Amino acid sequence: MKLAAQLVGIRKDYVLKSETVRALRGVAFDVPEGDYVAIMGPSGSGKSTLLNVLGCLDKPTAGNYFLGGDDVARMNDDQLSWIRATRIGFIFQSYNLIQQYTVVENIEVPLLYQGRLNSQAKQRCRELAQLVGLGERLTHRPNQLSGGQQQRVAIARSLVNDPFFILADEATGNLDSATSEEIMQMFERLNNEGRTIILVTHEDDVAAHAKRVIRLRDGLVQWDHPNETRVLAAAAAPAA
Amino acid sequence: MLVFLHTFQLGLRSLWLHPMRSLLTVLGIFIGVASVIWLLAIGEGISVVAQRQIEGLGAENIIVRSVQPPADVTAGMNGPVLYGVTRAEFEMLKQTVPTLKNNGGGALPIREVRRTISYDGRSVDGRVVGCTPQYQQALKLEVATGTFLTEIHNRNHENVCVLAEQLARKLFPYEDPLGRSVYLGENKDFYRVIGVLKYRNATAAVGGSLAAQDFSSDMYVPIETVRQQITDTVVTRRGSSFSAETVELNQVTLQVNSIDNVRRTAALVRKMLRVAPDDKGPAVQEVGFKGQERSESELNRQDVSVVVPEELLEQARVTKFMFMIFMGLIAAISLLVGGIGIMNIMLATVTERTREIGIRRALGATQQHIVLQFLAETISLSVVGGTTGILGGLLCPLVIDQARALAIRFAPELMSQLPPVVHELEATIVPLSIPLAFCISVLVGVVFGIYPAMRAARMDPIEALRHE
């Protein structure tokens, strides 16, 4: 099976004053295409650091991180920017939309930095907005939208560059439970369409939607298993 | 390129989010850019005034003028006051100065007297100018009807005259002046009109040594006739007292054969007439004999001044240069202050938008993209300032005219004391100053935008994303 991402012996040390904090101490796992992974762990487990490494915002101290055959761990800042623009779809807890942009313009941002923003791409951005149910609000600005709507804009934005995987950081952390459920359904639908999703969360009922759960503890993978309830449910209803 | 245009568009839009702030920020650039255009326009105006002066006087001419001694010098004296260039001196100049046009033919004597000129009950206070036929060509006077004075008129001391256009019109509103005779009351003498000149623009005054010449009330008479009929001594009556002065020649215009020789000839003429060299002019090498140094008073004759239009050009250049330095300083200071203002605002903006920078970085913006974005915003700011500054600069001629009109209306005494340049100046927009001003505003944007932009780009994306 083709891999969306592969982590091999990822270490990350932070030097704080004279003390070295070892945030990641050799994390390794594969993410096959089409997978839906939830990464869990208590605070201090290295979850945020792993997220930054996965999102190519930070470089590991040691180890290899393969994204589509390229070892991202050895890349410079500009190359990492390019990887972020082309291969990763970010979704954040606080939506992180650009306030002065409209819905469509926010969706266009990653394409802007790929230099691929033509009329065809703009059309695709409008279609994505429709896909997440915001076809009527293309020219609204983030402050005119509810939290759930903003997060749907963020989802549309994460899809625009056709990424290797979607990296969602506490995507439902700021939402009420009904809206959370809505967003989770959207993730599930995307996953069913073949999208690879990596979800970082500390909520069990969010993680329950994933196919696979990875638990971190003290900078190491403590637990990496298929999510039985969901796998079983899928087995019971193979048509889904 | 596309990305860059897009960035500019976005830059302008984010400025529009804070209109008041942007406006205040832009003010410094506005003033700076406007003063660049103003300084060039006014500098050009000064040049034009100077050029016009030189043109009026002739760049190849040297003008030797008799200067009336001040009243306090002559107060106790009896008899007519004697001053000015003498005919002997004129002959000396004509015979000995080697660089004159037509081997000495380029020396023109002029005698001026104010007289009441009348015809058929109409009187005009005019200026009788005794001159030679060459005067016409030297001052580029054009004859409308009739002829100018000729050598024969001069030789025969004939009572003939040529009138300036305005004078002719005042004296002869209904008749053709040719062939008629005007009357000089003070001399009880008639002069037959043989020609009328075309209208001529007045020349500007030059420093303190040469008054403005408007040719409008001139009556040209052969100089030999003036000598015979009006004579050198002129008595004027002021109230109950009479004052008399004896002047042989009021002016000698020396036409130099080549413009390159003007300065050297001027030095020679000054020496011959014992006039102190003009301080404002270029230093003239003093060639004296050792042990034969001339005393101070000898080289300090006050009743004659030597005006060299070519040197005036130099003076005008100095005036213009001083002015340009002054205005340039204002422009530089306001651009600096404006630039610092812009930098300050951009630094605040960068901090304010840390989160946005983080988002953009996460979504794939390189450091270069961020630099470009903030640079584009800074340049948009400064270009908006620059463009309004250019518009403000273009108003320069209008504002100067209006301000001068206002000043003359409300403070006429103050204005009358100002040098004539102030009155004659017509600011002329230098076309090149517009692209120059635009480039300056872009440059200010780049120079003062690069630091905030770099600071934005160097941010750690993870920190920036976490920023509240």
| Residue B356 C-alpha, separation from nearest chain A C-alpha, in angstroms | 6
Contacts of A115 in chain B (CB under 8 A): 2-3
Between chains, do A86 and B364 touch, taking CB under 8 Å as contact? Answer: yes
Nearest CA in chain A to B18: A100
Domains and CATH numbers, chain A: 3-236 (3.40.50.300)
Nearest to B362 among A77, A78, A84 (CB): A84
Nearest to B367 among A77, A99, A100 (CB): A77
| Residue A147 C-alpha, separation from nearest chain B C-alpha, in angstroms | 17
Q: What is the DSSP letter of B70?
A: P
Residue B127, strand partner residues: B114, B218
Is B356 at the interface with chain A, CB within 8 A? yes
| Residue B364 C-alpha, separation from nearest chain A C-alpha, in angstroms | 4
Q: What is the pLDDT of residue B11?
A: 75
Residue scoring higher pLDDT (A198 or B136) = A198
Nearest CA in chain A to B364: A85
Q: Of B130, B4, B23, which Cα lies nearest the Cα of B385?
A: B23
Instruction: Please enumerate in sequence order all residues whose Cβ is within 8 A of that of B406, keeping only pairs 6 or more positions apart, or say none.
Output: none
Between chains, do A52 and B13 touch, taking CB under 8 Å as contact? Answer: no
Q: What is the pLDDT of residue B211?
A: 60
Q: What is the pLDDT of residue B140?
A: 77
Is B461 at the interface with chain A, CB within 8 A? yes
**Do the beta carbons of residue B427 and residue B45 sit within 8 Å?**
yes
Chain B stretch 1-60, residues whose beta carbon is closer than 8 A to a beta carbon of chain A: 2-3, 6, 13-14, 17
For CA atoms B300, B305, B306, B307, the dihedral sign is positive
Contacts of B1 in chain A (CB under 8 A): none
Is B365 at the interface with chain A, CB within 8 A? yes
| Residue B365 C-alpha, separation from nearest chain A C-alpha, in angstroms | 5
Chain A interface, mutation test: which of B2, B16, B22, B363, most A Cβ atoms within 10 Å?
A: B363
Domain ranges of chain B: 2-53+312-466, 69-256
Residue A172's Cβ-side half-sphere holds a number of Cα atoms within 13 Å equal to 21
Instruction: Please enumerate in sequence order all residues whose Cβ is within 8 A of that of B293, keeping only pairs 6 or more positions apart, or say none.
Output: none
Q: Which parts of chain B register pLDDT below 70?
A: 1-4, 55-56, 74-77, 104, 202-213, 238-239, 278-299
Is B359 at the interface with chain A, CB within 8 A? yes
Contacts of B355 in chain A (CB under 8 A): 96
Residue scoring higher pLDDT (A24 or A231) = A24
Instruction: Please enumerate in sequence order all residues whose Cβ is within 8 A of that of B48, keeping only pairs 6 or more positions apart, or say none.
Output: B426, B428
| E strands present in B264-366 | 304-307
Q: What is the pLDDT of residue B284?
A: 41
Between chains, do B14 and A100 touch, taking CB under 8 Å as contact? Answer: yes
Instruction: Please enumerate in sequence order all residues whose Cβ is within 8 A of that of B252, keeping only pairs 6 or more positions apart, or say none.
Output: B63, B64, B85, B89, B90, B93, B107, B108, B109, B110
| Residue A139 C-alpha, separation from nearest chain B C-alpha, in angstroms | 15
Is A95 at the interface with chain B, CB within 8 A? no
pLDDT greater than 70 at residue A39: yes
Q: What is the DSSP letter of B105?
A: T
Between chains, do A52 and B360 touch, taking CB under 8 Å as contact? Answer: no
Chain A stretch 125-184, residues whose beta carbon is closer than 8 A to a beta carbon of chain B: 157, 161
Q: What is the pLDDT of residue B283?
A: 40
Q: Of A235, A217, A218, which Cα lies nearest the Cα of A226?
A: A235
d(C-alpha B282, C-alpha B268), whole Å: 14
Instruction: Please enumerate in sequence order all residues whose Cβ is within 8 A of that of A82, keeping only pairs 6 or more positions apart, or say none.
Output: B364, B366
Contacts of B359 in chain A (CB under 8 A): 96-98, 109
pLDDT greater than 90 at residue A143: yes
Contacts of B14 in chain A (CB under 8 A): 100
Longest dimension (CA), chain A: 57
Q: What is the pLDDT of residue A191?
A: 93
Q: What is the pLDDT of residue A100?
A: 85
d(C-alpha A152, C-alpha A183), whole Å: 7
Q: What is the DSSP letter of B206?
A: B
Q: Of A157, A206, A154, A164, which Cα lies nearest the Cα of A35?
A: A164
Instruction: Please enumerate in sequence order all residues whose Cβ is within 8 A of that of A142, keeping only pairs 6 or more positions apart, or say none.
Output: A95, A97, A98, A99, A101, A103, A106, A150, A153
3-state class of B80 per DSSP?
coil
Between chains, do A57 and B461 touch, taking CB under 8 Å as contact? Answer: yes
d(C-alpha B96, C-alpha B76), whole Å: 37
Contacts of A52 in chain B (CB under 8 A): 462
User: Can you read off the two tokens belonging to residue B358?
Assistant: 């983080």
Between chains, do B364 and A100 touch, taking CB under 8 Å as contact? Answer: no
Between chains, do A109 and B360 touch, taking CB under 8 Å as contact? Answer: yes
**Do the beta carbons of residue B68 and residue B83 sit within 8 Å?**
yes
Which strand (E) or helix (H) includes residue B116? strand B107-119
Nearest CA in chain B to A159: B363
d(C-alpha B440, C-alpha B451), whole Å: 18
Beta-carbon pairs below 8 A across chains A and B: 66
**What are the DSSP calls for chain A, one per residue?**
--EEEEEEEEEEEEEETTEEEEEEEEEEEEEETT-EEEEE--TTSSHHHHHHHHTTSS--SEEEEEETTEEGGG--HHHHHHHHHHHEEEE-TT----TTS-HHHHHHHHHHHHT---HHHHHHHHHHHHHTT-TT-TT--GGGS-HHHHHHHHHHHHHTT--SEEEEESTTTTS-HHHHHHHHHHHHHHHHTT--EEEE-S-HHHHTTSSEEEEEETTEEEEEEE-HHHHHHHHH-TT-
**Residue whose entry in the numeric block shows the structure tokens 């213009």:** B320
| Residue B468 C-alpha, separation from nearest chain A C-alpha, in angstroms | 10
Contacts of A67 in chain B (CB under 8 A): none
Between chains, do A57 and B362 touch, taking CB under 8 Å as contact? Answer: yes
Q: What is the pLDDT of residues B358-394, one digit of tens each?
A: 999 999 999 999 999 899 889 888 888 999 999 999 9
Instruction: Please enumerate in sequence order all residues whose Cβ is within 8 A of that of B174, keeping only pairs 6 or more positions apart, or say none.
Output: none
Contacts of B17 in chain A (CB under 8 A): 100
- Distance in angstroms between the alpha carbons of the first and the last residue of chain B: 33
State residue A170 phi and psi, 5-degree precision: 45, 50
Q: What is the DSSP letter of B204?
A: P
Tally Cβ neighbours within 10 Å of residue B122: 12
Sheet holding A197-200, edge to edge: A88-91, A165-169, A197-200, A36-40, A212-217, A220-226
Residue A51's Cβ-side half-sphere holds a number of Cα atoms within 13 Å equal to 28
Amino acid type, B388: T
Q: What is the pLDDT of residue B238?
A: 67
d(C-alpha A66, C-alpha A60), whole Å: 12
Nearest to A78 among B2, B366, B465 (CB): B366
Sheet holding B233-238, edge to edge: B81-82, B241-246, B233-238
**Do the beta carbons of residue B249 and residue B111 sit within 8 Å?**
yes
Between chains, do B362 and A90 touch, taking CB under 8 Å as contact? Answer: yes
Is A75 at the interface with chain B, CB within 8 A? no
**Residue whose entry in the numeric block shows the structure tokens 């809206």:** A179
3-state class of B349 per DSSP?
helix
d(C-alpha B377, C-alpha B372), whole Å: 8
| Residue A58 C-alpha, separation from nearest chain B C-alpha, in angstroms | 8
d(C-alpha B389, C-alpha B351), whole Å: 29
Nearest to A112 among B3, B355, B462 (CB): B3
**Do the beta carbons of residue B199 and residue B167 sit within 8 Å?**
no
Q: What is the pLDDT of residue A195?
A: 92
Contacts of A114 in chain B (CB under 8 A): 364
Q: What is the pLDDT of residues A42-72, one digit of tens each?
A: 888 889 899 999 999 999 999 999 998 889 9
Between chains, do B364 and A114 touch, taking CB under 8 Å as contact? Answer: yes
d(C-alpha A165, C-alpha A87), whole Å: 7
pTM beyond cutoff 0.90: no
**Do the beta carbons of residue B254 and residue B98 sit within 8 Å?**
no
For CA atoms B73, B75, B79, B81, the dihedral sign is positive
| Residue A229 C-alpha, separation from nearest chain B C-alpha, in angstroms | 34
Q: What is the pLDDT of residue B204?
A: 56
**Do the beta carbons of residue B445 and residue B7 sit within 8 Å?**
no
Q: What is the pLDDT of residue A238?
A: 53
Between chains, do A98 and B359 touch, taking CB under 8 Å as contact? Answer: yes
Between chains, do B355 and A96 touch, taking CB under 8 Å as contact? Answer: yes
| Beta strands at B233-238 and A197-200: parallel, antiparallel or unpaired | unpaired
Q: What is the pLDDT of residue A114?
A: 86
Q: What is the pLDDT of residue B285?
A: 41
Nearest to A57 among B17, B355, B462 (CB): B462
Q: What is the pLDDT of residue B62?
A: 87
Nearest CA in chain A to B359: A96
